[in-house]
Amino acid sequence: MAEYVASGPKVAVIGVTGAVGKEMVNVLHDRAFPLSELRLFASERSAGKTLETSYGSKTIEAFSVDAVAECDIALMAVSGDFAKEYAPQLAAKGVTVIDNSSAFRYDADKPLVIPEINPQDVGDARIIANPNCTTAILAVALWPLHQAYGLKKVLVSTYQAASGAGAEGMAELEDQARAYLDTGVAANKVFAHPLPFNLIPHIDVFQDNGYTKEEMKVTWESRKIMGLPDLALSCTAVRIPTSRAHAETAVIETERPCSPDEARAILSKAAGVKVVDDPAAKVYPMPLNASGKYDVEVGRIRQNLVFGDHGLEFFVCGDQLLKGAALNAVQIAEVVLEQRTVAA
């Protein structure tokens, strides 16, 4: 499939008033995505409003299939229900949809892509799923280690930021932190419980097996993206009072012997990853530094005490809105463009 002229595709961002949609526009501009036109869509409620963007003042349009169908690529940052209804209609009209929801991630015929790992899966798909934020941030570190050592078991615990619940989540954390400091009490509407100075071991809905859907996403999506359908991976997902960077502990058991020094060398050459691992100098991944960055920080790399020379333990931290969402979506668009562009 080679369909775009070199003058660049027309790009739509759908759901542009949300935290992820806004970052999609920023990332397109920052990475100089060679678009010929950018159109911004949201619900009827926001239509006609002006949005200040990296591209200057832009007017938000009301979403309609016909309007978006005038574009070549649509980045969707909307609910799963909305995506399920409209992405197929757009795809039928020739638009390549890159969807940030979980609506299509588990469909066998729809690629789920992290460009550092499985760009080849894009193929000629019209709907491409963008992974769960926690999965994307973890998988860029897991993949090079899998290539070197072979993953056998993966055990994950997460420290997830408020931004996973969107702009409303970030605002609730900040507003309720103020309330808590002033009155000793915080309220909650977006989150299941008050988040400031607390944590909540509950993200997305509970499944029959006792895991949350968020936790199962990390298992299901890691398997699909890395092409390891039987990978043994479990996760506990916990919301903590940080703003927009997710952190995760990971313990891996490997098929072949591994060493921390070698793993550091491997990861320091890996795309999308930055080794931040100098404990003596108090240097390790933290939301304070990883927020606003494209690369996922990896550190605290050490030989795991339980699995010995066939095990590693480490800590990752990445921006939930960037590698966890908007950046990865734009990177997918870059892969699409590269694979489908013809000379003018």
Annotated binding site: 17-20, 45-46, 105, 160, 163-164, 239, 320
| Least gap, CB of 7 to a copy of itself (angstroms) | 41
- Tell me if residue 258 is catalytic: no
With b meaning 16 or more CB within 10 Å and e meaning fewer, what string describes 305-329? Answer: eebeebbbbbbbbbbbbbbbbbbbb
Closest to a copy of itself by CB, 93 or 302: 302
Closest to a copy of itself by CB, 46 or 236: 236
Query: Any contact of residue 178 with a copy of itself (CB under 8 A)?
Result: yes
Query: Measuring CA to CA, which residue among 104, 114, 159 is closest to residue 286?
Result: 159
Question: Helix (H, G, I), strand (E, B), or coil: what is residue 329?
Answer: helix
Tokens, residue 39: 């159109």
Long-range contacts: 77-82, Cβ < 8 Å, 24+? Answer: 77/13, 77/14, 77/15, 77/16, 77/18, 77/20, 77/21, 77/24, 77/325, 77/326, 77/329, 78/14, 78/15, 78/18
Known binding site for NADP(+): residues? 17-20, 45-46, 163-164, 320
Closest to a copy of itself by CB, 140 or 238: 238
Q: CA 307, CA 284: separation in Å to the nearest integer?
A: 23
Size, binding site for a copy of itself by CB under 8 A? 55
Q: CA 139, CA 252: separation in Å to the nearest integer?
A: 12
In sequence order, what are the beta bridge partners of 160? 239
Residue 106 sits at the vertex; the CA angle it makes with 104 and 111, to the nearest 5 degrees, is 70
Which range of residues in 27-35, 41-49, 226-234, 330-338 is near a copy of itself by CB under 8 A?
226-234
Question: Helix (H, G, I), strand (E, B), or coil: what is residue 21?
Answer: helix
Q: Give, as one character, the DSSP assignment of residue 279.
A: G
Residue ranges in 287-306 that form contacts with a copy of itself under rule CB under 8 A = 287-288, 299-306
Give just the sign of the alpha carbon dihedral 253, 255, 257, 262: negative
Query: Any contact of residue 108 with a copy of itself (CB under 8 A)?
Result: no
Known binding site for phosphate: residues? 105
Tell which one of 32, 183, 210, 344 touches a copy of itself (CB under 8 A).
210
Closest to a copy of itself by CB, 92 or 199: 199
Tokens, residue 47: 């239509």
Tell which one of 315, 318, 330, 336 touches a copy of itself (CB under 8 A).
315
Which range of residues in 79-87, 125-133, 247-255, 325-333 is near a copy of itself by CB under 8 A?
247-255
Question: Helix (H, G, I), strand (E, B), or coil: what is residue 296?
Answer: strand
Q: CA 144, CA 264: separation in Å to the nearest integer?
A: 10
Which range of residues in 22-30, 63-71, 86-94, 170-178 is near a copy of itself by CB under 8 A?
170-178
Residue ranges in 138-167 that form contacts with a copy of itself under rule CB under 8 A = 153-155, 157, 159
| Least gap, CB of 265 to a copy of itself (angstroms) | 15
| Least gap, CB of 13 to a copy of itself (angstroms) | 27
Closest to a copy of itself by CB, 90 or 238: 238
Which range of residues in 13-21, 23-31, 64-72, 198-206 is near a copy of itself by CB under 8 A?
198-206
Tell which one of 211, 254, 273, 332 touches a copy of itself (CB under 8 A).
211
* Residues 6+ away with beta carbon under 8 Å from 329: 24, 75, 77, 98, 100, 130
Residue 195 near residue 187, CB atoms below 8 Å: no
Query: Any contact of residue 232 with a copy of itself (CB under 8 A)?
Result: yes
Q: CA 270, CA 341: separation in Å to the nearest integer?
A: 26
Distance of CA 119 to the CA centre of its chain: 15
- Tell me if residue 133 is catalytic: yes
Tell which one of 2, 32, 108, 280 touches a copy of itself (CB under 8 A).
280
> Where on the chain is the footprint of a copy of itself (CB under 8 A)?
153-155, 157, 159, 173-174, 177-178, 181, 192-194, 197-202, 206, 209-211, 219, 232-234, 236, 238, 240-243, 247, 249, 251, 260, 279-280, 282, 284-288, 299-306, 313, 315
Active site residue ranges: 133, 246
